[in-house]
Chains A and B, each alone.
Chain A
Amino acid sequence: MSWIPAQLTGNILTVLIFLPLAGALLLVFLPKGKPRLLRDATLLVTALEFLLSLPVAIGLDGTSAAMQFVRKVPWIPEYGISYHVGVDGISLWLLMLTTFLMPLTILSTYTSVEKHVKEFMIFMLLLEVGMVGVFLAADLFLFYIFWELVLIPMYFLIGVWGSDRRIYSAIKFFLYTFAGSVLMLVAIIALYFHHYAVTGVYSTDLFAMYELSIPVKLQFWMFAAFALAFAFKVPMFPFHTWLPDAHVDAPTAGSVILAAVLLKMGTYGFLRLAIPLFPVAAVDLAPVLATLAVVGIVYGALVAMVQKDIKKLVAYSSVAHLGFVMLGMFAFNLQGIEGSILQMVNHGISTGALFLLVGILYERRHTRLISEFGGLAKGLPVYAACFMIITLSSIGLPGLNSFVGEFLILVGAFKPMPALTVVAASGVIFSAVYMLWMFQRVMFGPITNEKNRHLPDMKAREVAYILPILLFVFWIGIYPQTFLRKMDGSVEALVLRIETKRQAALSEAPPGETLLARYFDIRK
């Protein structure tokens, strides 16, 4: 990192968090009546954000497990709360995913968002503040603030710019995720006082918490609270019911960000907080969570198969894909966790692109029903080609991005959980069924609906926001080393931490202790 000026390395993450906020404030003062200016300004801010995030990706030392580009400033020192941000191999690619997709998403709204452009752009930028903040926060209080900050802009994006049942979906989205996360708040507070009771120091610093050895019974309840919050967000079966509603009714840009980034906040939360803070409970409850993940994979795929609406199909496919992410994580080994992180990025790219492509179709026909289409490949060759690549990427075709992630996850999960992994692998086949079937019905065959005969193909602007995504589909698929090597240090340290802390905590446990005895003192 020596080529980056020292001043910059300390402050770059702060700049990344607050640049979109500054952009949002700037937008407040721009005239309402000039939508083009508002769009260009937002595009500029988000593009600048992406450019500024590049030095972080290049400069991060992948062999080190430490937080890098750290900045720590006391905030409420009497209570040990500080503004503490940093990035490591676990958060790096999620940060990059966010900054990469934002300008593309903004570009996609140039024609699809016509009303209240100013407010729309302000909410998009505020959303970016929250998302970037969540991935960079290294303090529990700060993390929680950014975590909740994301809800309000997304609530407005769905509720104001959405379709049909937007109000219902917006409130459902908000209440589900908020109800989940307030329990996490109680757990954070309890953890905070536990830290004080053990060390005599008030602190909400994540790394101070990592060093704690928390009694196993306490771990169980805290893990449950954190896991519930994150399970709502991911969403894991059976907490997923808000997702199809939110996706279907959200505007395209909202769906893209929701699927690509917001859901990752849940999976990231598991990796960053729930698992490393409470390793004993995490490992003991892994069978439950892995089973739910696999149920999600199969259930999501089966339900996706029978959907009539393309967007809803993609929404259910998200449930299935995130099942893979969760399964890999709960393998607790290098392959599983690296695959899991890579798959988060892959899902962001593939599903984000799918929503963008569906949005392009929706702009032309104002419907997303599969039965309304057919034979589009003849009139829209460029569109069909892009759609094909993304479809194959989503299925996990070798050579494309998702294959690498899914393969690593299955390899990682096979050793600890062979039976579940076999069932999960069937999900790959299901995904081929629903995606290809949908593709076939939309793209091939005769043109049955006259309205589809003269649809215009993708415009230059539309190609401009799909093309960069295709680049990464191939890049990750062909040479994933670029991405995996940056994670090595952090993931290895995480695996080691889980193992050592678990052994230390259970060193005095009687051999053959059942979980009921360990957590609830219930003995036969």
Chain B
Amino acid sequence: MTPIPMDSHALAMSVYSVLPEIVVVATALFILFLDVVLPEENRRVLCWVSFFGVAIALFCVFALGPARIDGFSGMLSRDGLGAFFDMVILTACALTLLMATGYSEWEGTHKGEFYSLLLLSTSGMMIMAKGTDLMTVFLGLETMSIPIYVLVGFHRGRLSSIEGAFKYFLLGAFASGFFLYGIALIYAAAGTTKIPVLATMLYDPRLAESPLFLAGVGLLLVGFAFKVSLVPFHMWTPDAYEGAPTVVTAFMAAAVKAAAFAALIRVLLTALPGMQPVLWKVLWVLAVLTMTVGNLSALWQDNLKRLLAYSSIAHAGYILVGLVSGDLLGGQASLFYLLVYAFMNLGAFGVIILLAQKEDDGYDIRHLAGVGFRYPALGALLTLFLVSLAGIPPTAGFVGKFYLFSAAVKSGYIGLAVIGVLNSAASVYYYLRIVVFMYMTPAAADAPVPRPPRTAFSLALCVAAAAVLILGILPRDLLALAERSVLSILM
């Protein structure tokens, strides 16, 4: 392939296509600089600087409009899907930073590297979501993952934090290896790593049925399965989620999952629809395993972080249900659900951060005894987020699941939808168990007093709660946006 010359127009387009990433990375570097010059007691500013950086990036996403911008000779494309996930990831990051204002003060993470790692990881996610070349996707994946490994182990004095980080890093390294090897095999078979080119080549059965190519696709899927924690590639999830600083856990569950799913959706919907007849069986099995193992394991958890970790595994399964059919409705439902999931999951983690007194032992479910009536606002918020996670109307979680299962039913996978809804019914048990502790068990004498929420923290929770309710009652506009986003990659 001859290199495409970069003229000034192409250069400008390339810059525009990654404008939010540039803003985020610049903020991250600025934070490192500030960290050196700022006196110790003014570190709180770092969090706000990061937040404003992300806010500007979010503004850029909207200012660039819905138009498709290809950059870097087709290595990367800011199309509808990319813009949608820019929005999801940056929103999740912004809410995380708002919650970090309080968290960092309580847990001592007001450090420059904490914020710059968070922002660098965010930039990696956005690149991953926009990559139209498998190499770019890999680049984004690594840029996202490496800072996250560090963040999981950020509480380096705590054993669980180090254990989680180590496990995540080791397994993550293997997954990256699988991913890269998959790309290599695909390149060997097809001679390209560009996703749109692969899509056109796959109409040739000689390629689609070649063992080399199939092995490559399989390895690629393993890499994805690890990042979105599909069973049986989920082993790291509970430990990493439990050990990580809780704001990072919330961020991982919302944003890492969104970014990995973004790339997966792009690959499945554009490059591999020709392989759908083969692929659906694999995805079907993965979806059923992920939902069932995730939910059944969550039933026995007493640690809230582990419980939500297993619940996040189960949710990856639900999203996969929408993707089995590999059609427009499924893609659209997944997009909708990923944004909704970011809100409800960040919200739930946020309330739990406030209710837990300190890291490590603060997250036992029994600590919640009686808090529902004592702190009505926090109780009501957590109940709302849990009800939404359980998929009960009139919340956004219900609408999301309704469309995910609709996509499966529409394409004739009724059995899968039935397994999905039964799983959803089983999940109600453990979500309600939290509610039982909050409202139906008497508080212990030494019941913990929640941390006094900062204004920014409260704002994050209110935004999440409002989103869960509004998207549950008036989902129309977001559904339409998700549809346009998926259509932009199908064209």
Chain A contacts to B: CB under 8 angstroms:
75-79, 116, 119, 144-145, 148-149, 151-152, 155-156, 159-160, 166-167, 170-171, 174-175, 178-179, 182-183, 185-186, 189-190, 192-193
Contact = CB atoms under 8 A, between A and B. Distances in A.
B409 to A, nearest CB: 4
Nearest to A191: B409
Contacts of B387: 152
18 contacts: A76-B476, A144-B393, A145-B394, A148-B392, A152-B387, A155-B432, A159-B440, A160-B439, A171-B432, A178-B428, A179-B425, A186-B417, A186-B418, A189-B402, A189-B406, A189-B417, A193-B409, A193-B410
A242 to B, nearest CB: 14
Given A152-B392, A182-B422, A186-B417, 7 more contacts: A148-B392, A174-B432, A179-B425, A185-B402, A185-B405, A186-B414, A193-B409
Contact of A149 (B394, B418, B432): B394
Task: List the 7 shortest-distance A-B pairs measured between CB atoms, nearest first.
Answer: A182-B421, A145-B393, A179-B425, A189-B409, A159-B440, A182-B425, A148-B393
Chain B contact residues: helix, strand, loop or mixed: helix
B436 interface: yes
Contacts of B398: 145, 148
Interface string B373-384: 100100000000
Contacts of A185: 402, 405, 421
B414 A171 contact: no
Contact of A186 (B394, B405, B433): B405
A190 B409 contact: yes
B475 A186 contact: no
Interface in B380-414: 387, 392-394, 398, 402, 405-406, 409-410, 414
A186 B440 contact: no
Contacts of B402: 185, 189
Contacts of B405: 185-186, 189
B17 interface: no
A248 B422 CA distance: 28
Chain A contact residues: helix, strand, loop or mixed: helix
Contacts, number: 80
B341 to A, nearest CB: 19
A268 B302 CA distance: 40
Nearest to B425: A179
Contacts of B480: 78
A78 B436 contact: no
Contacts of A171: 429, 432-433, 436
Nearest to A145: B393
A116 B417 contact: no
Contacts of A167: 436, 440-441
A259 to B, nearest CB: 22
Nearest to A180: B425
A174 B376 CA distance: 22
A145 B406 CA distance: 16
A187 to B, nearest CB: 9
Contacts of B418: 183, 186
B9 to A, nearest CB: 37
B479 interface: yes
A186 B393 CA distance: 15
A193 B408 CA distance: 11
B424 interface: yes
A151 B410 CA distance: 28
A76 B394 contact: no
Contacts of A78: 476, 479-480, 483
Nearest to A189: B409
Contacts of A119: 373, 376
Nearest to A166: B440
Contact of A190 (B392, B414, B432, B439): B414
A151 B480 CA distance: 30
B423 to A, nearest CB: 9
B288 to A, nearest CB: 15
A372 B441 CA distance: 30
Contacts of B483: 78
A166 B387 CA distance: 20
A77 B418 CA distance: 26
A279 B440 CA distance: 44
Residue of A171, A175, A185 with highest tally of chain B CB at under 10 A: A185
A183 B376 CA distance: 34
A201 to B, nearest CB: 15
B4 to A, nearest CB: 39
B404 to A, nearest CB: 10
Contacts of B432: 155, 171, 174
Contacts of A155: 432
Residue of B394, B406, B424, B441 with highest tally of chain A CB at under 10 A: B406
Nearest to B390: A178
A159 B402 CA distance: 28
Contacts of A144: 393
Contacts of A79: 479
A441 B224 CA distance: 70
B393 A149 contact: yes
Given A148-B393, A149-B393, A186 B436 contact: no
Interface string B88-108: 000000000000000000000
Contacts of B421: 182-183, 185-186
Nearest to B436: A167
Contacts of A77: 476
A160 B436 CA distance: 9
A171 B476 CA distance: 33
